[in-house]
Amino acid sequence: MSEIVHNRYIKWKKELIMSLETILIEDIQTFRGSRPAGFDLVEYEKGTDPLDGYVLYGFDEIFMLVPQSKAAHAFVASGV
């Protein structure tokens, strides 16, 4: 990859990350409410970035991709 292409990619990635909004869910077991408009429900491993997680189509998919003992949840909006 040429340096120019690499620099453009890094700039694009930084702009994308800066346009993301994340709402962490402290405890999915006690969460009451619904997914905010424009946000995705994400399941990821505790201690990692929510952006490295899995987008869930609904609350019925919780703990299907990450074991309950390691799972964390958030709502993520890309702003796109």
Residue range of the domain that includes 66? 21-77
63: helix, coil or strand? Answer: coil
Quick check: is 46 in a domain?
yes
Sheet with 40-45, side-by-side order of all strands? 21-25, 71-77, 40-45, 54-56
Domains of the chain: total: 1
Quick check: is 66 in a domain?
yes
Quick check: is 63 in a domain?
yes
pLDDT in tens, the chain (80 residues): 567 666 666 665 655 555 689 999 999 999 999 999 999 999 999 999 998 899 999 999 999 999 999 999 999 997 66
Quick check: is 3 in a domain?
no
Quick check: is 4 in a domain?
no
